[in-house]
Chain A
């Protein structure tokens, strides 16, 4: 009898453990994109949450979205504000992208980023981006697209991270924001007439947007920043007034320190000649000529880009972090005062390995 009672108590325990909030996927408002604006009048953040509406009918062709807005000084308060508009429990566990408006990023984004970091249910493999203009207008416009808006933004950034821009998720952004000798950068999304596209890369000094590089410089930046794969580069050969396209570019990047004030960023590129407008490359001499011309052009462009970075005192290429790992007596203050003066030389060598399918 006594043992039976114990079993009864234990059984009760098992039944009672269900007393926490249940989260059934159909009954939660699954927010997938979060946008933040800064309202200078009230000094509050304005959050715009986009949740997909999974069709009541299976034939729904277009992805539909539902938007909620909330205004508050903290992220959690925005969430509970949004709850007042949503019929189901608001859940932020499946966020795919976080967007900041240009104004907010110009003012500094550190506070809201830390708020996001403190929430345990937000992942780290999230795309972060800046929007040109207000996030609200970008997210509230109805687009005609097959995917839901959140999936669209996710795929847009993710696929471009493979080819055009370096990958930057929330973890990598935090890493660069907090770490010494590096500065973060984010893609800038722009609203076009019918859709959204990536307009530029926004370079940040600490947590503030200070510079943007256009599409034309994406390739150079990525070349100097990391190893890349599968890129396309359009080369304008001014001396011969030709335009040549090189694709399937693979490159390896490394940093070599000559002395404390002199560093070489080396990038070796291998590519395939795909568009030469009938010109073709038929001799070794021509090949070499082309290779050298491309290297020279890239070198010039890189030099320009690096110079801009040094003038703005930003270090998205993580040269400081490399110096830190190289020199024992590295310290942040000294580095920051030295950084604009040191010579950073890009050393880019280009090699053509294959040609196209037309002779």
Chain B
């Protein structure tokens, strides 16, 4: 195997996985996931959150097994298992998916900005600014990207406090009786939920960049658990605040919850909330963008810089095609399906293939 080994100046310490994983997982989804899961599983959907959290934790462990002691990344593994050409093709598809998520997150955030703040704003221009920012951060290298992710965790943590209003004004009755939804629906609700917990697949890309990668498992797992707790807490708050019929009328339950909060200097908190959320959006998008560019860079002979600028241009132009809310909803839905298959289907499959392939190659090496 031909290993990719980044320079030590590009590496980050393993405890930062706590922030990286959390920042990738929490993005635009936290504003609206309650509606999606409640549509399928009603107000027992919080069980789906826990189940998804447990399953994703297993996936994290599997990822650690795949990467192994050699700290091989996704591209190396693909080429090792499927050979040069087919491996590259798979990586290419995977990086397209990462790139799509990176841009969808931005576009759906711009949608919120457009609805709430500036209805007459030029979305093309705003997209241009955001993509430029992301390009700038990504070109700074992995450490800069992680720095931003580190920062964003504090912002989302701060924003999570403002769900307190739901606990003071809400009705706990909404959550009762527990287990009144058929188990099938609870399982089905894991699909939209897994979109919210997506982000752990990126570990496969940035694995070589983590110093002493094997010792990072505990950080990644605790980060995943932490994210699950944040989602769980958020869902309970929203479920208490809205009843089952009401929530289906609301596009972004969290933002509407913030509408009720006011301080002497701020009439409506959602304006602060949306603005601060931009940092979380940029961190998520940036990590995905960086990972996608890393994939493209590793399978081609172009430099990281060249491919990034090229893809940024494609990203900006994507807004000309995805500019209406129905398309955004559709793309998000499709990506959530793909993500679900990737997490719970492809990665375990990859693990099995990896086991078989390394077993076979070892046998041949011994002969």
Does B7 reach chain A (CB closer than 8 Å)?
A: no
Q: A20-B120, A125-B259, A175-B243 are in contact. Are A93 and B177 (CB under 8 A)?
A: no
Query: In whole Å, how far is B278's beta carbon from the nearest beta carbon of chain A?
Result: 14
Name the interface residues of B110-124: CB closer than 8 Å to any CB of A. 115-116, 118, 120-122
One of B168-176, B187-195, B348-356 at the interface = B168-176
Contact: A125 with B262, CB < 8 Å?
A: yes
In the complex, how many angstroms separate the beta carbon of A80 from the nearest chain B beta carbon?
13
Expressed in whole angstroms, the minimum distance between the Cβ of B262 and any Cβ of chain A is: 6
Residues of chain B contacted by A169 (CB below 8 angstroms): 260
A172–B168 alpha-carbon span in the complex (Å):
13
Q: How far is the CA of A175 from the CA of B249 in the complex (A)?
A: 11
Whether B177 pairs with A328 at a CB distance below 8 angstroms is: yes
* Residue from the list B177, B249, B261 in contact with A178, Cβ < 8 A: B249
Contact A178 B245 (CB under 8 A): yes
Chain B residues near A325: list those with CB within 8 A. Answer: 173-177
Cβ-based interface call for A214 (8 A): no
- A174 contacts the other chain (Cβ, under 8 Å)? yes
The reply on B31 being an interface residue by CB < 8 A is no
A180 interfacial by beta-carbon distance below 8 Å: yes
Distance, CA A10 to CA B125, complexed state (A): 12
How far is B126's CA from A19's CA once the two chains are assembled, in angstroms?
11
Provide the bound-state CA to CA distance between A327 and B176, in Å: 9
Min distance, Cβ A180 to any Cβ of chain B, angstroms: 6
A-B contact count (CB 8 A): 69
Residue A196, interface by CB 8 Å = no
Which residues 207-238 of A have a CB within 8 angstroms of B? none
Among A21, A117, A172, A179, find the residue whose CB has the most chain B CB atoms closer than 10 A: A179
The answer to the question of A17 belonging to the interface, with a C-beta cut-off of 8 Å to chain B, is yes
Judging by beta carbons under 8 Å apart, are A171 and B122 in contact? no
Q: Is B242 an interface residue (CB 8 A)?
A: yes
Contact B132 A93 (CB under 8 A): no
B268 interface hit (Cβ, 8 Å): yes
Whether A179 touches B246, Cβ cut-off 8 Å, given contacts A123-B268, A125-B262, A328-B180, is yes
Query: At the interface, yes or no: A94 with Cβ under 8 Å from chain B?
Result: yes
Question: Within the assembled complex, what's the spacing in Å between the Cα atoms of A299 and B132?
Answer: 69
Q: Let me know if B116 and A180 touch, CB within 8 A.
A: no
Contact A178 B125 (CB under 8 A): no
Q: Is B129 an interface residue (CB 8 A)?
A: yes
Determine if A13 is an interface residue (Cβ-Cβ < 8 Å).
yes
* Known A-B contacts A123-B268, A179-B246; A171 and B260 likewise in contact (beta carbons under 8 Å): yes
Q: Of residues 14 to 38 in A, which have CB atoms within 8 Å of B's CB atoms?
A: 16-17, 19-21
Please tell me if the beta carbons of A13 and B177 are within 8 angstroms of each other in the complex. Answer: no
Instruction: Give the Cβ gap from B133 to chain A, nearest Cβ, in Å.
Output: 10
| Residue B358 CB within 8 A of the other chain | no
By size class, the interface of chain B is: 20 to 34
Q: Is A322 an interface residue (CB 8 A)?
A: yes
**Contact between chains at A17 and B176 (CB < 8 Å):** no
A297 at the binding interface (Cβ < 8 Å): no
Residues on B with C-beta less than 8 A from A125 are 259-262
Q: Is B256 an interface residue (CB 8 A)?
A: yes
Asked whether, in the complex, the Cβ of A178 is within 8 Å of the Cβ of B259, the reply is no
A94 / chain B contacts, CB cutoff of 8 Å: 267
List chain B residues, Cβ under 8 A from A10: 132
Question: Interface extent on A, as a size class?
Answer: 20 to 34
B243 touches A179 (CB 8 A): yes
B162 at the A interface (CB under 8 A): no
**Is A120 part of the contact surface with B, judged by Cβ < 8 Å?**
yes
**Does A321 lie at the interface of the complex (its beta carbon under 8 Å from any beta carbon of B)?**
yes
Q: Is A67's CB within 8 Å of the partner chain B?
A: no
- When distances are taken between beta carbons in the complex, the residues of chain B under 8 Å from A19 are 122
Known: A120-B115, A124-B256, A325-B177. A13 touches B128 (CB 8 A): yes
Within the assembled complex, what's the spacing in Å between the Cα atoms of A184 and B168?
A: 20
A13 near B129 with CB under 8 A, answer yes
In angstroms, Cα B278 to Cα A27, docked, is: 28
B245 touching A21, Cβ below 8 Å: no
Say if the beta carbon of A326 comes within 8 Å of chain B: yes
Cα distance A328–B180 in the bound complex, in angstroms: 6
Interface residues of A in 81-102 (CB under 8 A from B): 93-94
Which residue of the partner chain, among B121, B176, B242, B245, contacts A326 with CB atoms under 8 Å? B176
Determine the distance from Cα of A175 to Cα of B259 in the docked complex, in whole angstroms.
15
Residue in A20, A120, A321 whose beta carbon sits within 8 Å of that of B171 in the complex = A321
> Is B249 a contact partner of A123 (Cβ separation < 8 A)?
no
| Residue in contact with A20 in the complex, picked from B121, B175, B244, CB distance below 8 Å | B121
Q: How far is the CA of A123 from the CA of B121 in the complex (A)?
A: 22
Contact A93 B267 (CB under 8 A): yes
- CB atoms of A179 and B267 under 8 A apart: no
Contacts of B242 in A (CB 8 A): 175
Tell me, in angstroms, the Cα distance from A1 to B177 when the chains sit together: 69
Q: Mark A247-260, 1 if CB is under 8 A from B, else 0.
A: 00000000000000
B259, A16: Cβ atoms under 8 Å?
no
User: 10 tightest CB-CB pairs across the interface, nearest first?
Assistant: A325-B176, A179-B243, A325-B173, A124-B259, A20-B118, A178-B246, A125-B260, A124-B260, A178-B245, A20-B121
A-B contact pairs, 25 of them (CB 8 A): A13-B125, A16-B125, A17-B125, A20-B118, A20-B120, A117-B249, A120-B115, A123-B262, A124-B259, A125-B259, A125-B261, A171-B169, A172-B169, A175-B242, A175-B246, A178-B245, A178-B246, A179-B246, A180-B243, A180-B244, A180-B245, A325-B175, A325-B177, A326-B176, A328-B180
Known: A17-B129, A19-B122, A325-B176. 10 other contacts (CB 8 A): A13-B128, A20-B120, A120-B115, A123-B260, A123-B262, A124-B256, A171-B259, A178-B249, A179-B244, A326-B176
Using a CB–CB cutoff of 8 Å, the interface residues on chain B facing chain A are 115-116, 118, 120-122, 125, 128-129, 132, 169, 171, 173-177, 180, 242-246, 249, 256, 259-262, 267-268
